[in-house]
């Protein structure tokens, strides 16, 4: 009987931990343009902040702001990345982070995503530059860091007209009581065996 309980516990463990993972998508459509973004997405386990920076017009930007972005027939809410760093801090470990970066001007944009763990160690990054000055199309690309153990993300771009949109990540919550079931089964089997 002990052998069968061990096999059952081993079979249940991956199911219980992977079933708890949750893919989260943030597209900012539920916030009005001009909203300063801070903790509106705290129920999803993430908070936003920025480093203060003066934009090309000399205005000091001290918060991450939602804007109404229109490009041809395409319209969405997004975050303005005005040459500053946007930081996302997570309540628990996440994995598989991705974000869409767009240049609102015709030209090139150097977009960068850097990921860190809870201790501040670099976990991965992606940098991408596409386009050329005065081209007839707008830069857009999805930047992705496909690793686990992420607690902090930094987004940067080198153009005042850059925006970020459609952020996705996988939340990996700490094991709950259900995930400890296989260990309990092993303990019970061992007790009956003794």
Give me the pLDDT at residue 43, please: 95
The pLDDT of 24-46, averaged and rounded, is 92
d(CA 79, CA 186): 50
d(CA 132, CA 107): 5
Cβ pair 41, 178 in contact under 8 A: no
Give me the pLDDT at residue 63, please: 80
- The kind and range of the H/E element at 192 are helix 181-193
Torsion of CA 175, 179, 185, 188, to 10 degrees: 40
Cβ pair 40, 26 in contact under 8 A: no
Give me the pLDDT at residue 90, please: 96
State the pTM of this model: 0.74
Distance (Å) of CA 109 to CA 35, 78, 119: 25, 16, 30
The dotted CATH code for 20-175 is: 2.60.120.200
Give me the pLDDT at residue 151, please: 96
The pLDDT of 108-128, averaged and rounded, is 88
More reliable by pLDDT, 2 or 190: 190
Q: Per-domain residue ranges for the chain?
A: 20-175
Give me the pLDDT at residue 4, please: 46
What is the full DSSP assignment across 113-150? EEEE-TTS-EEEEEEEEE--TT-SSEEEEEEEE--S-E
pLDDT band at 92 (very low <50, low <70, confident <90, very high): very high
The pLDDT of 179-185, averaged and rounded, is 57
How many Cα atoms within 13 Å fall on the side-chain side of residue 66?
A: 18
């Amino acid at each position: 009987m002990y052998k069968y309980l061990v096999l059952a516990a081993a079979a249940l463990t991956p199911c219980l931990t992977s079933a708890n993972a949750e893919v989260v998508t943030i597209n900012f459509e539920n916030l009005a343009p001009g909203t300063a973004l801070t903790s509106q997405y705290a129920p999803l386990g993430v908070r936003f902040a920025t480093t203060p920076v003066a934009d090309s017009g000399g205005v000091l930007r001290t918060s991450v702001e939602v804007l109404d972005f229109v490009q041809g027939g395409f319209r969405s809410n997004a975050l303005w990345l005005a040459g500053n760093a946007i930081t996302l801090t997570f309540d628990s470990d996440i994995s598989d982070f991705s974000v869409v970066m767009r240049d609102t001007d015709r030209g090139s944009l150097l977009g960068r995503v850097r990921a860190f763990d809870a201790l501040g160690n670099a976990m991965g990054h992606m940098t991408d530059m596409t386009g050329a000055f005065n081209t007839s199309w707008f830069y857009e690309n999805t930047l992705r860091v496909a690793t686990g153990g992420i607690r902090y993300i930094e987004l940067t771009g080198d153009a005042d007209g850059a925006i970020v949109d459609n952020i996705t990540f996988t939340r990996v919550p700490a094991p709950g009581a259900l995930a400890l079931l296989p260990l309990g089964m092993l303990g019970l089997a061992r007790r009956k065996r003794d």
